[in-house]
Structure formats: structure tokens, C-alpha cells
A and B are shown apart, each in its own frame.
Chain A
């Protein structure tokens, strides 16, 4: 695989993660447990959509076919989206959203900390800006994990169940393929396999502080890097792409 192609793939993965998780979080707008939470969760959604925009724009440049951020965000078929499966899971109740968010934020934080050192200057610059926001996302999702885990009996049971249910989607975050090998060899991005044990330790510590049990590492779903998604993805895209598909080629 050519390095350019690997880089394009890699950027799409990063961008799709941010775009799809931002999309899911934006669904909370107007429905959060308290007004302050609505505002906070939209902030995270806006940060993620911002990351997605920079990454799509750069991906378009790398590809060199003149595709814009919107072409990439809205006009691919499902199998061409490379976001991790965990990002497309339903919002569920607030505990489900917090568990999904914490597990992803912890991953994203470790990943972007490494990307700040990327040999690709554009990625390094995007990461340097994004990491400040991601650090804050992580702080908030830890705070909420603690509150729901060590709050009431009901909240404890609920979020424990959320972590148990989502756990099987975390393995997908660390799967590597040929693009990753290129990326690691070129010093563009980190070895995800090396991040996994660090991630696990951090998660274990947070869950312990939250009086929660880290789920057993059983069978894990995978497939996002080949564009093999959950059934949820198609519904996300049918909303996301509705306008662009219904009115092709328009300016908005």
C-alpha cells in the first residue's frame, strides 16, 4: 500500500470517529438531564465536529481529487466510513452515553497525545489543538463516571450495565491493519497495540474509583477499519446524508 493511501485511510478513521461521535452527542441537544449538561455535551459535540472538519479537509488534500470536507463527510457509502464501532452506538440513557464517552475519551486522549508528536506536521498541528479539548472531555467523562458509579444504587447498577454492554466494542479501537503498519513505520501515528495496555490500566483505575468493576475481556466485535459497521450506522447516515442525497449538487 502506498503511504499516501494509508495516510488518507488513517485520516478518514480519525475524522469519522470525531464526526460520528459528534453526531451522536448532538442528538442530546434539548434532551439532557439538566440545562447545564445540555450546554456541556454540546460543547463536546462541537469540539469533535471541529476536529472532524480539520481532518476531512486535510484528508481531501492528501487524496488530491478535490474532495471537500462536505464531500467526505456526507457523500460516501456506508462501507467507506471508517469510524470505530463504539462511536456509532445508540445514546441510550445518560449512563450509556457517559460510558461510551469515557471509554472513547480515554482512547482518544492517549492517541492524540501521541499524534502531537506525529512526523506529519499537519496532523501534529491538528492534534496539538485538539488535545486541549480532548483533555477536557476526558476530565468531564471521568467526573460523570465517578458520580454515576459512586452515586446512588440505581445509578451504580445502570452504569455498570452500560460498561458491561459497551465493553465488547472497545477491542475494535485497537485493531490494526496494513494502513496502520504504514502509518507506524512512517512515524505518523502510534502503535495502537502499545496503547491498549495503558488504556486498560487507566480505565481500570477510573472504574475502581467509581466503585465499578472492569468487565472481563471476552469476545470483541471488530470490523470498522474495513467499513463493516453495526446496524445503527445506516440510520445515522440516512439522517446525516438526507439533504445532500435528496438535493444533489446544491450549495447550502
Chain B
């Protein structure tokens, strides 16, 4: 399919070594190379990053709000997944 306007891309920037890439925003670009280049000029003008990911927005899939009850609520009561669920005497020290 030929489209004339540039597609939308999502930009993820690693702000410093050791951290994960975080969503910064979006932009338009004709292809991946230009998307990276534009992302550098748009989203790292103030030293915000050391690495950039771009992905065309149409490739992102997400959960729906209407599913969120069944997707996320069931985990609210699974408290045995958290360390505070278990009683360990203070004498044992930090664990």
C-alpha cells in the first residue's frame, strides 16, 4: 500500500546507561532511519538520552480498558506473591 503522508512512530529513549528505554512521545517519519534521526532532534535536544528505540505505532498492541477488570483485578488478592505475606521472626535478620 502506498501512502503519501509519513507514518507515526513511537519513540523510546534510554536516559542513561543501565536504565531501560522509556516512552518519550511520537513523531512522523518516512522510515526507520529518519525516525531515529528525527527522534534524536526532537526528543534528545536537552541531553535526555543515550540510546533511542523507534517503532511504528501501528505495530504496538495494547490491552483494552473493557478487559482491564479481568486482566488486572485478579492479581489484587494474590498477596502471597509479596514478601510481607510471610512471617519471619526479627531475630533471623534481614531476608
Contacts and interface: CB of A to CB of B under 8 A. Distances in A.
Tell whether any CB of A sits under 8 Å from a CB of B in the complex. Answer: yes
Interface of A: 34-36, 39-40, 43, 136, 139-140, 143, 147
Given A43-B41, A43-B45, A36 B28 contact: yes
Contacts of A35: 28
Contacts of B34: 36, 143, 147
Contacts of A147: 30, 34
B54 interface: no
B28 A40 contact: no
B86 to A, nearest CB: 53
A40 B30 contact: no
A40 B6 contact: no
B38 interface: yes
A34 B28 CA distance: 9
A143 B37 CA distance: 10
27 contacts: A34-B6, A34-B28, A35-B28, A36-B27, A36-B28, A36-B29, A36-B34, A36-B38, A36-B41, A36-B42, A39-B38, A39-B41, A39-B42, A39-B45, A40-B37, A40-B38, A40-B41, A43-B41, A43-B45, A136-B40, A139-B37, A140-B37, A143-B33, A143-B34, A143-B37, A147-B30, A147-B34
Contacts of B37: 40, 139-140, 143
Interface string B25-55: 0011110011001101110010000000000
Contacts of A34: 6, 28
Interface in B29-88: 29-30, 33-34, 37-38, 40-42, 45
Question: Which 9 A-B pairs give the minimum distances between C-beta atoms?
Answer: A36-B38, A40-B41, A39-B41, A43-B41, A39-B42, A36-B27, A36-B28, A140-B37, A143-B33
A147 B37 CA distance: 14
A36 B9 CA distance: 12
Contacts of A143: 33-34, 37
A94 to B, nearest CB: 14
A134 to B, nearest CB: 15
Interface in B10-27: 27
B4 to A, nearest CB: 10
